[in-house]
């Protein structure tokens, strides 16, 4: 079993005396079903699981009254082998996006308060099957992503003590011993090549076979394309897929990583494709990093919706858009040119996005300054510049020179920890997991 941070979140939810129903959201294949099933086995006498994709006729249970007593009667008839006891049975409604009335029913389960109810689904942000009444205020939410770098290290049997030691080096700004630093960069490149989707990580951990992992990556990419074709409306299907598949070129072949509609098709315009980007964002297939016109709190007030970068929500989706040899170059550290800078920028976007930070970047055309990422934490703005090698961060240096209101900034690079002024700190790329 892959160790996931979401498991601790489920435990915290269970011990909350005032908990509501829990809705676990996230893109497909991020491990939602597996972790909930395991949690149910560990903490309840029985789990009553309904997967609305596997058993589509189960929607009939919710076709009449949504009062819990009536639903319990229907569930007893449908699953006579289940005892369904308050406090001892976990009700798990999987792929709930396929049953609009089951979504509505979460309100009534929450009000009734006898049973622990967890629902999960992908594409819940897509309004293709509107619930008659969405249970606003009656559900707690948990967002699941693919494995982040720390979870990936757990999968490789890296101990929590070693990770805690690395975190201490990050927090105390102490140089990492060369042997550990070298090995951590190897792990970082491995994560870059594989991504964090559980099935792919599990396959590699068990078999150490890149070719099998590559096949799973391609199958995953095809599955996401299927979801676009299946769930997007007729007007968006082709456009959304084109936008999605353009990311390999947008992020890895160009120096400028701003999303450009002309890369989707010759003469492409925002007017035609912007709604497709919105669909992909709502489907948890893309994440967005928006340009800000000024670096002031609150960054969202200065963000432009029409000028952005788009990243896949997991590296496992980006890698199969390019040739298999890209993985070899990543692992052997022989990447060159725009691809090298682009791929490491994507990894940092991945690490920050999996912490659910809204992402921003800053670019000043008159001076050519560019800050790769900005995020906000506890009222402070944190600038980040990503370097594929160990070169100077000119933009970050010039920017911080006149910004005494920003206490700290990071240059993430293929090098060790250091600083010349105690405000701009060079950090190894893998330290991005501690930001």
Of 113-117, 131-135, 338-342, 378-382, the range with the lowest mean pLDDT is: 131-135
CA dist., res. 212 & res. 204, Å (int): 8
CA dist., res. 348 & res. 384, Å (int): 9
Phi/psi at 147 (5° precision): -60, 135
What 3-state DSSP class applies to 139? Answer: strand
Neighbouring C-beta atoms of residue 10, cutoff 10 Å: 20
Of 67-81, 210-224, 343-357, 383-397, the range with the lowest mean pLDDT is: 383-397
Neighbouring C-beta atoms of residue 387, cutoff 10 Å: 20
CA dist., res. 244 & res. 4, Å (int): 27
In the predicted model, what is the mean pLDDT of residues 174-192? Answer: 98
Residue 310 has pLDDT above 70, yes or no: yes
Choice between 133 and 88, residue whose per-residue pLDDT is larger: 88
At residue 240, the pLDDT reads: 96
DSSP state of 424: E
Residue 254 has pLDDT above 80, yes or no: yes
CA dist., res. 411 & res. 65, Å (int): 58
At residue 390, the pLDDT reads: 74
In the predicted model, what is the mean pLDDT of residues 103-116? Answer: 96
| Lookup: tokens for 7 | 């498991």
CB distance 261 to 3 below 8 Å: no
Residue entry with tokens 């927090």: 171
| Lookup: tokens for 315 | 């590296």
Residue 127 confidence class, pLDDT cut points 50, 70, 90 = low
Q: Give percent above pLDDT 70 in the chain.
A: 98
At residue 128, the pLDDT reads: 45
Maximum CA pair distance of the chain? 71
Of 3-17, 90-104, 366-380, the range with the lowest mean pLDDT is: 366-380
Beta bridge partners of 311: 287
In the predicted model, what is the mean pLDDT of residues 177-189? Answer: 97
Phi/psi at 66 (5° precision): -105, 15
Q: Which helix (H) or strand (E) holds 180?
A: helix 178-194
Q: What CATH number should be reported for the domain whose range is 5-143?
A: 3.40.50.300
Q: Omega of the bond prior to 358 within 30 degrees of 0, cis? A: no
CA dist., res. 297 & res. 380, Å (int): 7
CA dist., res. 348 & res. 431, Å (int): 10
Of 25-34, 123-132, 391-400, 425-434, the range with the lowest mean pLDDT is: 123-132
Residue 303 confidence class, pLDDT cut points 50, 70, 90 = very high
At residue 126, the pLDDT reads: 73
Beta bridge partners of 141: 23
At residue 336, the pLDDT reads: 85
Beta bridge partners of 409: 424
At residue 131, the pLDDT reads: 52
Residue 40 has pLDDT above 50, yes or no: yes
Nearest to 389 by CA among 311, 335, 320: 335
In the predicted model, what is the mean pLDDT of residues 82-92? Answer: 97
pLDDT in tens, 142-155: 999 999 999 999 99
CA dist., res. 180 & res. 184, Å (int): 6
CB distance 381 to 339 below 8 Å: no
At residue 163, the pLDDT reads: 98
- All residues at 6 or more sequence positions from 194 whose CB lies less than 8 Å from its CB, including other chains: 152, 200, 201, 204, 213, 315, 316, 319
At residue 133, the pLDDT reads: 65
Residue 130 confidence class, pLDDT cut points 50, 70, 90 = low
Residue 365 has pLDDT above 80, yes or no: no
CA–CA distance from 54 to each of 36, 97, 179, 308 (Å)?
A: 17, 13, 49, 38
Residue 420 has pLDDT above 90, yes or no: no
Nearest to 239 by CA among 271, 284, 216: 271
CA dist., res. 82 & res. 97, Å (int): 24
Residue 255 has pLDDT above 90, yes or no: no
Q: Give percent above pLDDT 90 in the chain.
A: 87
Of 125-134, 222-231, 375-384, the range with the lowest mean pLDDT is: 125-134
Question: Hey, where are the domains in the chain?
Answer: 5-143, 149-434
Alpha carbon distance, N-terminus to C-terminus of the chain: 27
pLDDT in tens, 194-245: 999 999 999 999 999 999 999 999 999 999 999 999 888 888 999 999 999 9
Neighbouring C-beta atoms of residue 318, cutoff 10 Å: 25
At residue 78, the pLDDT reads: 96
Average pLDDT, the chain: 94
In the predicted model, what is the mean pLDDT of residues 71-81? Answer: 97
CA dist., res. 81 & res. 331, Å (int): 51
């Amino acid at each position: 079993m892959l160790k996931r941070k979401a498991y601790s979140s489920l435990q915290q939810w269970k011990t909350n005396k005032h908990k509501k129903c829990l809705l676990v959201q996230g893109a497909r294949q991020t491990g939602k079903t597996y972790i909930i099933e395991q949690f149910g086995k560990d903490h309840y006498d029985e789990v009553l699981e309904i997967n609305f994709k596997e058993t589509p006729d189960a929607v009939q249970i919710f076709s009449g009254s949504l009062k819990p007593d009536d639903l319990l009667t229907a569930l007893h008839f449908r699953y006579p082998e289940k005892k369904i006891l308050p406090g001892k049975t976990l009700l798990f409604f999987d792929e709930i996006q396929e049953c609009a009335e089951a979504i509505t029913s979460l309100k009534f389960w929450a009000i009734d308060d006898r049973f622990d109810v967890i629902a999960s689904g992908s594409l819940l942000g897509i309004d293709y099957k509107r619930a008659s009444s969405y249970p606003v205020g009656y559900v707690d939410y948990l967002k699941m992503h693919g494995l982040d770098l720390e979870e990936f290290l757990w999968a490789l049997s890296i101990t929590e003590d070693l990770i805690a030691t690395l975190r201490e080096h990050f927090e105390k700004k102490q140089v990492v011993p060369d042997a550990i630093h070298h090995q951590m960069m190897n792990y970082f490149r491995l994560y870059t090549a594989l991504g964090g989707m559980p099935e792919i990580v599990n396959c590699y951990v068990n078999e150490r076979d890149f070719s099998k992992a590559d096949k799973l990556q391609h199958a995953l990419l095809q599955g996401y394309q299927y979801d676009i074709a299946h769930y997007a409306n007729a007007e968006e299907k082709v456009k959304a897929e084109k936008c999605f598949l353009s990311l390999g070129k947008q992020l890895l072949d160009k120096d400028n990583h701003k999303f450009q509609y002309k890369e989707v098709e010759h003469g492409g315009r925002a007017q035609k494709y912007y709604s497709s980007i919105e669909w992909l964002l709502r489907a948890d297939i893309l994440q967005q990093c928006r340009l800000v016109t000024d670096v002031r709190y609150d960054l969202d007030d200065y963000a432009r919706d029409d000028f952005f970068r788009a990243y896949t929500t997991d590296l496992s989706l980006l890698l199969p858009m390019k040739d298999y040899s890209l993985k070899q170059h990543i692992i052997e550290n022989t990447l060159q040119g725009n691809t090298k800078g682009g791929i490491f920028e994507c990894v940092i976007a991945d690490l920050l996005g999996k912490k659910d930070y809204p992402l921003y970047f800053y670019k000043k055309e008159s001076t050519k300054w560019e800050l790769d990422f900005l995020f906000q934490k506890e009222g402070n703005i944190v600038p980040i510049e990503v370097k594929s090698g160990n070169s100077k961060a000119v933009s970050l240096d010039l920017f911080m020179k006149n910004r005494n209101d920003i206490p700290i900034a990071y240059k993430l690079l293929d090098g060790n920890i250091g600083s010349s002024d105690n405000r701009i700190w060079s950090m190894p790329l893998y330290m991005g997991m501690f930001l």
